[in-house]
Structure 1
Amino acid sequence: MPEGADTTVEEAHGELSLARVALAEDDLQHAASHLAGALAYAPGLPEVHELLAVLATRAHGPELFPIEEPIFIGTVVAHAHLLAPTDPARALTMLAQATAADPEKPWADVSWVRALDLASLEPQVIAQIFTTVMRPLGDPAAPGIRAANEVYLDLARRAVTAHPDAAMIHATAAGLGRRLGATAQAVSWGEHAVRLEPSKLTLVWYAYALRADGRTEAGIAVLRDAYRRYPTELDLCADLSNWLAAQGHFDEAQSLLEEAVRLDPSDDCVVHTLHRLRYDRDGEARHLIDLADYTRDHPPAGHEHHELEHCCQGRNWLGMPAPATEACINALIQAPSGLTRLSLSALEVPSALGVVRRAFPGADVSIAGPPPADMVDPLRAGRALWAYEETIATPAVQPPPPAANDLVRQVVTPGWPHPIAAYDQALPLGQLPITDLLALLVYPPAPPPELAELPPGWWERCVQVYVCLGILHSAELGRDHPTDTTAHRRLLTELAFGIEDWITEAALFALIVAAWSDPSCRIEVRETVGTRFVRAVEASQERVVTILDSLATLALITPEMIPAVTSLASDILAAPAAAPEASSSSSSSNKKRSWLRLFRRGKD
């Protein structure tokens, strides 16, 4: 029995009890209402159908279950059952719509559907029913959904027998069968559909059935045939290219897509697929930025596209924050149950040490050596969020109010689909005052219970990311010019050049997202990110910069970043981590390179 099924059956029995009481009092309206509720909880419960049959003898036809706004799924299903004797096609269509809305329940698995004479239904009606339920099932359907909807596989088997010459029934049965685990049968149905009518749809459903049955190369051959027959149907090109790339045929896939783009540069399926394929091949973020630009200028007119999300998922800064690398965070991971003493060989950023001190307030944290001046002082004048006394950093602002903490818990998630989606998700935080947003950066609230098991520091880093994106949305900063983010970027730049911290990364990420969203600020953001990154590279020649790899990743996803900086960032990410050199000031000055001069030469 599926998880939670016992609860829903109990709820259904409760509704049935109320329906029986109403029926005994001849209150048919309330009886029908409670019976619809019982059907919504447990559509296959025999007692529900027994009482529905009793009610049907008292109310003539399905009018007792009117289909009106707001539509309730239990009412729709009850209406369908009472409609079945006079209009089985319409009744089955309604059950299919219920399945599409909630495929986890067996809406159509009832005796009259199992016994239905499909020869009496028009082929196009059956094909439309299969099409309605097909996509919501999943591809393939999860085991629970498959079990709840096996009745449709039974319908498919009987339908192809009842209508042996109906190509679309065989084709849609193939689409349905592959989702419900009958892949070999789906191949047979798809092949028969193509023999009857080699149309675009029959060829596509046959190809997908072959791939589901583990015969991808054969499926590719069918898609090639479909694209040859219908060369203007560029969605076929997108599908074919995806399959070719998945089989390692990247050159052919890219060649097909580039030719298709030349034929029709406005075809969103082809353009999205081409950008994703380019990114999959070389990992350069410029392809994703181009895709984001295209999506902004050409909103999808048909179905949704998920190529950008596919490319960004699980990747540092594209779909989640780069993980913390500080030794103090590693110590928390190794000693999750208790930490009484922590000795660090060098000062680490205040947000990381703040995680340790909040987790174990009584822990003795000792830091060897004097604090580096470029760690405890901001690189540029600006708003101070931290204040150092020797090696101890404390917040330089007051804590945020409880309402701000509550809003953060509602907005922040452990990752994001892609940078533009993160920007959109942070919109509610833009209504907070700037003082609250700055406070949240150094006083991150405790995570909600469902996120309490994240790795140490992950929640805090996500909070800082979304808060910096909230600054980008700030209504306070945009009061005079709502569509101009100049003031927002100015504040984020101050934070990026403040005391070295995780906030540095979050502020730079927000600036990069601004550049993804608004091409007009790309040169400005490129210079900010590039300059802050190369300052960190220079510092790393004297000491460990724990956020250096993260800043390198951020440089690589910055729009229009100069090649000298992207090359440097790639070299840093490719090099093994090393401890800072111990050398005299004279020898180190001979070895130092002026990365800032390199950055400036690259811009010229």
Structure 2
Amino acid sequence: MHTRRARAPKPGGSHYPHAVNDERPARGGRRDEDPTARAHAELDLARAALAEGDLAHAAGHVAGAIAAAPGLPEVHELLAALSARAGDEGALELFPVEQPAFIGTVVARAHLQGRHDPIGGLRMLAQATQFNCSQPWADVSWVRHLEPRRLDPNELARLFVAVMSSLGDPAEARVAKANEVYLDLARRATAAHPGSALLHGAAAGLARRFTALAPAALADAVRWGAHGHRLRPDKLTSVWYAYALKADGRLDAALQVMRQAWQAEPGEVDLCADMANWLAEAGRADEALDLLDTAMRTEPDYDCAVHTAARLRFERDGDVAHLVGLVDFMREHPLTSHEHTDLAGACRGRPWLAMVGGPAESVINLLHQIERDRRAHLEGTATVSALEVPSALAVVRRELPGLRLSIEGGPPPEMVGPQRPDGRVLWRYDGMLARPAVPPPSARALQLLGGLVWPFWPDPVAAYDQALPLGQLGAEELLSLLVHPPAGTDPKLPDGAWERASQVYACLGLLHCEELRAGAEPGDTGRSRELLTAIAFGVEDWTTEAALFALVVAAWLDPGCREEVRGVVGRRFLDAMQQSRDRVVTIRESLGELALITPQMVPEVSALAREVLSRREEQRAGPPDQTGEPARRRRWFGRR
């Protein structure tokens, strides 16, 4: 998903020249103490330096005080005193803006410069707002009492564009409160320059951000947007006006304004992407896609339209081909107009596309019912009706060391041995007890993996990129991580989430493994895929799912291996289906989910996977309760 913003004329390099940071430690106190206290400590040091005539050190402490508490009156009193001692030019020299610039220095200089060059001072304050919009950098007397009539309205419009881009749409209440001074300036500026279309449009774009603080700001946005559009109905004023109308709940009126702008400038296909997003949000996906198809007939490679269309088509029919096609487009078109989030938006909340799939083992459900602070001291016995995968049992045995777990029945031959003769054996069974078949990993490997793992990711390609540092580990060490995953430390994660995510990242690490890719062509993951396939057909386990996921990711990235991966994932899922006729295969549904996100999967296999998952959802719903509604079972990622 993406958000289009109307583009004002780009400011020149002299307008916003400095990279801002807040890395200079406060010299008058610790960074973790109360900001006001820290500011007062800085001011005490500044006063002492000023009394000794050391203006440079005084200026440094004033900058530190401004960074800590920009609205503190004493800060501005001391800044004024310092300016009086140094003179106008001398005071500016005390706050040199270097690269990168300390934010306190930038803001102090902005206040000094604003006395004689208001636009220059406002530009610097806008930089501070862009860097950290939660602080009231501009809420000072000279800005509040600024007379807009003597300022260039186009410069004010550029200022509002620079500020609005960082506030959020709409801004959070605390952000809106910190920056309300800009809204106040917009009200005075529009009154002072009634003939400036650009200023009124930009003011409309700014005002609609402030609805959480001032509901009347939305009426201002619509009024200013309409006035700017009447004065000069070009693309910029049309977009600002249309966005204000949409924020006011008048979608059809907003669409009409946008369509008129597009008719006037048919080459501006980004207007179609905006309208398509609005229509999709309103549940009018067919209209949205019609618009995008029209746009892409004009400009087939327009990235906004391609990204939006892929997301909408996937949300409509669930066919992963749309997302894989988008990944192909992104690889073939690395230069885009702006950053997009459509791929992540389409994947969000979906198993394997944006998070590790949930476990289905009964032992994990048992573990989930026991409070974490009771587990280390809990003693007793529990019986499982059938053997479950070794990774799940390993998690339970680590979490419940005092539990005696008995497993009924005998060990299924196809479960305690590899699925194929060439399958990689990571677990060896002694009766019903599985032990790791590989040694533990090094402390370095555990530390490297632990710094990367998280059970959520934006999309499969992002997960692959995140795993890049693991490529420096050898293949055997990555295999060790699969059966000796580090224990999770976040109590908010469901049981097994951390371990399963660790296994996923270890397998993604195999795709990056420098040892396996040595001597191969750049991008060739053939040896890595061979090892992942061997793991997938090894002993039935969570590692099976992790290996298949890594293969799926390889297929997303490399069209040349899609036929191979389709065969591996499809065959392993069908094997699980066959075995589930005689016993419970806890990873079966997860393998079905993986089949559905595999590029170019055989349609019959996809249909079977959908049928299996549909039956699972029906079972989860359960029988109706006393109200007649289905009794929902707990989802893996959810409230406990």
| TM-score w.r.t. length of structure 1 | 0.93
What is the CA deviation profile of residues 328-349 of structure 1, one whole-angstrom value per residue up to 9, with x for unaligned ones?
Answer: 1111112234453321111111
SS of corresponding position for 2:405: strand
Match of 1:19 among 46, 49, 55: 46
Is 1:394–2:435 an aligned residue pair?
A: yes
Match of 1:214 in 2: 249
SS of corresponding position for 2:383: strand
Name the amino acid aligned to 2:506.
V
Q: State how far apart, in whole Å, the 1-side matches of 2:520 and 2:87 are.
A: 64
Match of 1:467 in 2: 506
Match of 1:572 in 2: 612
Match of 1:172 in 2: 202
Match of 2:581 among 541, 554, 572: 541
Q: State how far apart, in whole Å, the 1-side matches of 2:453 and 2:41 are.
A: 39
Match of 1:584 in 2: none
Match of 1:189 among 210, 224, 227: 224
Match of 2:177 among 133, 136, 147: 147
Match of 1:354 in 2: 394
Q: State how far apart, in whole Å, the 2-side matches of 1:429 and 1:39 are.
A: 43
Q: State how far apart, in whole Å, the 2-side matches of 1:72 and 1:302 are.
A: 30
- Structure 1 runs of 4+ aligned residues shifted over 6 Å read none
Q: State how far apart, in whole Å, the 2-side matches of 1:353 and 1:122 are.
A: 71
Whether the aligned pair in 1 keeps the contact of 2:416 and 2:540 (CA below 8 Å) is yes
Match of 1:132 among 143, 152, 162: 162
Q: State how far apart, in whole Å, the 1-side matches of 2:381 and 2:252 are.
A: 60
Q: State how far apart, in whole Å, the 1-side matches of 2:466 and 2:491 are.
A: 21
Q: State how far apart, in whole Å, the 2-side matches of 1:183 and 1:524 are.
A: 55
Q: Which stretch shifts more, 9-18 or 386-395?
A: 9-18
Is 1:331–2:366 an aligned residue pair?
A: yes
Match of 2:262 in 1: 227
Match of 1:505 in 2: 545
- 1:520 CA drift (Å): 0.8
Aligned pairs for 1:49-448 within 5 A: 49-61=76-88, 62-181=92-211, 182-336=217-371, 337-338=374-375, 340-380=380-420, 381-447=422-488
Whether the aligned pair in 1 keeps the contact of 2:424 and 2:537 (CA below 8 Å) is no
What is the CA deviation profile of residues 215-237 of structure 1, one whole-angstrom value per residue up to 9, with x for unaligned ones?
Answer: 22322222222222222101100
What is the CA deviation profile of residues 185-204 of structure 1, one whole-angstrom value per residue up to 9, with x for unaligned ones?
Answer: 21111111111111111111
Gaps of 5+ in 1: 580-604
- 1:482 CA drift (Å): 5.7
Whether the aligned pair in 2 keeps the contact of 1:279 and 1:285 (CA below 8 Å) is yes
Q: State how far apart, in whole Å, the 1-side matches of 2:536 and 2:32 are.
A: 52
Q: Which stretch shifts more, 77-86 or 57-66?
A: 57-66
Q: State how far apart, in whole Å, the 1-side matches of 2:302 and 2:165 are.
A: 22
Point out the structure with the larger helix share: 1
Q: Percent identity?
A: 56
SS of corresponding position for 1:461: helix
Name the amino acid aligned to 1:48.
V
Whether the aligned pair in 1 keeps the contact of 2:418 and 2:424 (CA below 8 Å) is no
What is the CA deviation profile of residues 552-596 of structure 1, one whole-angstrom value per residue up to 9, with x for unaligned ones?
Answer: 1101111111111111111111124899xxxxxxxxxxxxxxxxx
SS of corresponding position for 1:245: helix
SS of corresponding position for 2:406: strand
SS of corresponding position for 2:516: coil
Match of 2:17 in 1: none
| TM-score w.r.t. length of structure 2 | 0.88
Q: Tell me the matched-pair count.
A: 574
Whether the aligned pair in 2 keeps the contact of 1:469 and 1:510 (CA below 8 Å) is yes
- 1:416 CA drift (Å): 0.4
Match of 2:520 among 457, 468, 481: 481
What is the CA deviation profile of residues 45-84 of structure 1, one whole-angstrom value per residue up to 9, with x for unaligned ones?
Answer: 1111111011101222312111111211111111111111
Which structure has more relative contact order (CA 8 Å, sep 6+)? It is: 2
- 1:382 CA drift (Å): 3.6
Gaps of 5+ in 2: 1-30, 212-216, 620-640
What is the CA deviation profile of residues 136-183 of structure 1, one whole-angstrom value per residue up to 9, with x for unaligned ones?
Answer: 100111111111111111011111111111111111111111111121
Match of 1:590 in 2: none
Q: State how far apart, in whole Å, the 1-side matches of 2:492 and 2:611 are.
A: 34
Whether the aligned pair in 1 keeps the contact of 2:536 and 2:547 (CA below 8 Å) is yes
Match of 2:26 in 1: none
Name the amino acid aligned to 1:455.
P
Match of 1:37 in 2: 64
SS of corresponding position for 1:394: strand
- 1:5 CA drift (Å): 10
Whether the aligned pair in 2 keeps the contact of 1:475 and 1:482 (CA below 8 Å) is no
Q: State how far apart, in whole Å, the 1-side matches of 2:132 and 2:448 are.
A: 31
- Name the CA shift for 1:411/1:482 in 2 (closer, same or farther; >3 Å): farther
Whether the aligned pair in 1 keeps the contact of 2:391 and 2:541 (CA below 8 Å) is yes
SS of corresponding position for 2:34: helix
Whether the aligned pair in 2 keeps the contact of 1:347 and 1:368 (CA below 8 Å) is yes
Q: State how far apart, in whole Å, the 2-side matches of 1:363 and 1:491 are.
A: 35
What is the CA deviation profile of residues 109-145 of structure 1, one whole-angstrom value per residue up to 9, with x for unaligned ones?
Answer: 0000000001111011100000001111001111111
